[in-house]
Amino acid sequence: MVAASLRPLGDVSFVEAATGLEAVEHLAMAETAMMVLDLNMPDMHGLDVLRFVRRHPLYRTLPVIVLTTRDDPGSERASIEAGATMYLTKPFAPDALAAHARSVLAVATR
Amino acid sequence: VTTPDFGAEFIDEYFAECDEHLVAVRHALLTVESTLASGRVDPAAIEQLFRSMHSIKGLSGMVELRDAELLAHELESRLRDLRDGNARWSPAALDALALAMRTLEAVIGARREQRLGPDITPAVSRLRTPDASSAAHDDAGGPRAAASSHARPAPHRRRWRFTYAPTADTAGRHVNVNVIRERLLGIGEIEQATPHVPPGGGIVFEFVVATDADTSVFAPWVDDGVTWDTVDDAPAQPSVEVAAHAAASAVAPSHLVRVDLARLDDLMRIVGGLVITRARLSDHLGRLEPRLAASEWRGVQESVGALERQLRDLREAVMRVRMVPVGEVFHRMRFVVRDLAREAGRHVHMEMQGEGTHIDKFVIERMLDPLLHLVRNAVSHGLEPAAERRAKGKPEEGRLALRASTAGDVVVIVVEDDGRGVNRAAVVESARAGGLAVPEGPIDDAQLLELICSPGFSTRKEADLASGRGVGMAVVRRTVLEMGGSLMLETEPDRGTRFTIQLPLTLAITDALITTVGDRTFAVPQAAVREVMEVEAASVRQLENNEVITYRDGVLPVLRLARAFGLPETARATFHAFVIGQGASRVAVLVDRIVGQREIVVRTFSEALIKVPGVGGATELGDGRVVLILDAGTLVRRGRERSIA
């Protein structure tokens, strides 16, 4: 669903991870331009993934869009504090996500 | 009726209490595990786990943390089955408990950090079918060792640090971190999983795993980029270690500091010392006044006045630190009621008012059991079964109200039900059967209370309850009186029962009236005094063998303090009197003079030898004199006894 809505971005490849640890693994295994992160994941919480990413020089500037079901101010604040580039909640409009992703990437590559 | 944001208001308190329970849980789990290894089950530890889960369930319900409530509930049921022999203890059962408790900690920790908690379904399903779940691991293709590790009675668990470094090669063979994680789960418990970025980039994952599998099981994983070393050589207590780790990570910044009550007592004692010193200073200064010039005196007076105000502020600040909302205790009652109502097959609607009323922590802690007793009594014996209520034309749902309010220096707590009321005839009958002195004729509510609170009193019902809690009405009253409070009963057949408890806001320092009898001085805590008046000696009338005075529209029994303490009585035309007690149990205590009002520091007598009925403690006045503090509760009773006898 997320991958599908990002397809308009053009010539990019997507790697999906089922767990937080897997997300981190993918991050290290292939060059990654952007991460769309769910908070509620088994074995490593999205926020922990985000904090891990921000702690490491290699990924410090990686754009991370937090996309989660929970629309509570607590997780938004926590995400932003942990270094999320953008915080979006599900359900989302697919073209909106693509647009956000485009703008985030544009800022990142400038 | 509770406000919806009640949970938010007490959330820090919730975390603090959960922490305490979780500490107890970790201890108990450790005990259970170590005794289980030697083939025994420690009933005390099981009971502790059971109680803690019950409390966490209740607390979590209060703050509407449903996952924690549900998990604690499942744990409680499971523990009950294990305790009652409806389920068998096995390493798998223990693992399931440990997993669930770890998850519970994580759920609570997540809430504290305001993030989403872990999924509790695996923990719950494992709790429900611990053996099936470990079998499922095997079916999923886990190493054979997993099955035998769960079945072995005494685990020789060790902790290993596994390191997995993914490579293009492993990725090509579809080995990734999830696969490795599944393998590790198959051989034991993962306590920790952390990614690291090694100095040259890339990624490694570190897993700390408690397992009783040996290296032959995981040796083949070298090909998949897995290496290992032992964390320590000591046999690990896996679940406890895990729990400890989880707790460490659950420690989040909080605006609350937990302080041992004993330290606050120290602080209060120091403030008490200051109060006395200030009183002494005032006395000394009083003697100096004639020798000082007016202008100098004014300066001194101002400083002393400021000192006095600041000291009062300090005292109040310290007192406030000791204050907790009554709501904490009320909400515990809610869960007691829920369970009791279920057991007794009653429908109970619970009302609460004034949960925000603050009271000294020490006072309310001491009141917990007495309140529990009153609430239990109300649900089990006061409220009728639905059918009986319907027959009486009452709503089927029984009503139980808990109310708290502040009135001056006292906190009033009311426990009220709309049940069948206290059965006077039955009380009188069993009191007589028990050899208690019972007045002839109809007895009023105060006398009724007197009977049911007598140490010798028991009905069969009362005995049932006492065996359940170890607290009877006698203890309820004794505790209230020890706290310097009072207890009142109002009851009406088929209309209900109301217990009213008055408690001082705090114990250590209080305002008191200073009274004299002959050459003796006594202090009376002001919280207990309802009214002060002047009484003409001639207006004290003899009624049968009691003395009474006219008071408003009725009469009031009189207790001459001199007579009560066997002191020489002085003939006077007028006396001062203070009225203590409430409702039907009011008494006017006659003294020579009420000479003033003072802040006093209460020192209780710890030695039984110097415990005198009617005296609650002692205090030091500014001039260094030690005076006795009257215990209003006992005086009320003595006044009533005299009027009854």
pLDDT at B499: 94
pLDDT at B232 over 50: yes
Cα-to-chain-centroid distance, residue B201: 54
Report, as an integer, the average pLDDT of B299-327. Answer: 84
B195 part of contact set with chain A, CB < 8 Å:
yes
Report, as an integer, the average pLDDT of B224-249. Answer: 52
Report the 10 Å Cβ neighbour count for B524.
26
Please tell me the distance in Å from A88's CA to the nearest CA on chain B: 15
pLDDT at B464: 46
The lowest-confidence range among B107-111, B231-235, B466-470 is B466-470
CB contact under 8 A, A45 and B110: yes
* pLDDT band, very low/low/confident/very high, at B501 (cuts 50, 70, 90): very high
Mean pLDDT of chain B: 78
Q: Token pair for residue B432?
A: 């007589």
B110 part of contact set with chain A, CB < 8 Å:
yes
Residue-wise pLDDT tens digits, B134-153: 444 433 333 333 333 343 33
Of B222-226, B416-420, B543-547, where does the model show the most confidence? B416-420
pLDDT at B591: 93
Alpha helices (H) in A1-110, listed in sequence order: 2-6, 20-29, 46-55, 73-82, 94-109
pLDDT at B133 over 50: no
> What is the chain A residue with the closest CA to B120?
A42
CB contact under 8 A, B115 and A77: no
Give the separation between CA A6 and CA B91, rounded to whole angstroms: 48
The lowest-confidence range among B94-103, B228-237, B244-253, B296-305 is B244-253
Report, as an integer, the average pLDDT of A12-29. Answer: 82
Best residue of A19, A21, A48 to probe chain B, by most B CBs closer than 10 Å: A21
A-to-B residue pairs, Cβ atoms closer than 8 angstroms: 63
Q: In chain A, how many H helices and how many E strands?
A: 5, 3
A43 part of contact set with chain B, CB < 8 Å:
yes
Q: Token pair for residue A36?
A: 């769309």
> What is the chain B residue with the closest CA to A56?
B197
Residue B595 φ then ψ, to 5°: -100, -15
Higher-scoring residue by pLDDT: B436, B385:
B385
Please tell me the distance in Å from B253's CA to the nearest CA on chain A: 14
Element housing B439 (H / E)? none
Q: Where are the beta strands (DSSP E) in B508-592?
A: 509-517, 520-525, 529-536, 541-543, 546-551, 554-560, 574-580, 587-591
pLDDT at B235 over 50: no
Element housing B388 (H / E)? helix B386-391
Which residues in chain B have their CB less than 8 angstroms from residue A77's CB? 114
* pLDDT band, very low/low/confident/very high, at B400 (cuts 50, 70, 90): very high
pLDDT at B166 over 70: yes
Of B185, B179, B234, which Cα lies nearest the Cα of B209?
Answer: B185
Report, as an integer, the average pLDDT of B195-208. Answer: 80
Residue-wise pLDDT tens digits, B458-498: 654 544 443 333 347 888 888 888 777 888 999 999 899 99
Give the separation between CA B495 and CA B359, rounded to whole angstroms: 30
B609 part of contact set with chain A, CB < 8 Å:
no
pLDDT at B576: 92
Report, as an integer, the average pLDDT of B88-106. Answer: 84
* pLDDT band, very low/low/confident/very high, at B515 (cuts 50, 70, 90): very high
Q: Which of residues 228-247 of B touch A (CB under 8 A)?
A: none
B118 part of contact set with chain A, CB < 8 Å:
yes
pLDDT at B541 over 80: yes
Cis peptide before B195 (omega within 30 of 0): no
Which residues in chain B have their CB less than 8 angstroms from residue A35's CB? none
The lowest-confidence range among B8-12, B340-344, B400-404, B585-589 is B8-12
Report, as an integer, the average pLDDT of B436-441. Answer: 80
Higher-scoring residue by pLDDT: B247, B625:
B625
Please tell me the distance in Å from A97's CA to the nearest CA on chain B: 22
Which residues in chain A have their CB less than 8 angstroms from residue B171's CB? 29
CB contact under 8 A, B205 and A25: yes
Which among B115, B193, B197 has CB closest to A75?
B115
Q: Which of residues 52-91 of A touch B (CB under 8 A)?
A: 52, 56, 58, 68, 70, 74-75, 77-78
Sheet holding B520-525, edge to edge: B593-601, B509-517, B520-525, B626-630, B615-620
Q: What percent of chain B has pLDDT over 70?
A: 84
Residue-wise pLDDT tens digits, B340-364: 887 777 888 888 888 888 888 878 8
Maximum CA pair distance of chain A? 35
Higher-scoring residue by pLDDT: B566, B201:
B566
Give the separation between CA B591 and CA B130, rounded to whole angstroms: 72
In Å, what is the CA distance from B578 to each residue of B514, B542, B554, B644? 11, 19, 16, 20
Higher-scoring residue by pLDDT: B254, B339:
B339
Of A3-17, B48-62, B386-400, B581-595, where does the model show the most confidence? B386-400
> What is the chain B residue with the closest CA to A52?
B195
Please tell me the distance in Å from A29's CA to the nearest CA on chain B: 7
pLDDT at B241: 35
Q: Each residue of B341-365: b (16+ CB within 10 Å) or e?
A: beeeebebebebbbbebbbbbbbbe
pLDDT at B503 over 90: no
Give the separation between CA A80 and CA A97, rounded to whole angstroms: 17
A39 part of contact set with chain B, CB < 8 Å:
yes
B169 part of contact set with chain A, CB < 8 Å:
no
Only one residue has tokens 């306590």, namely B191
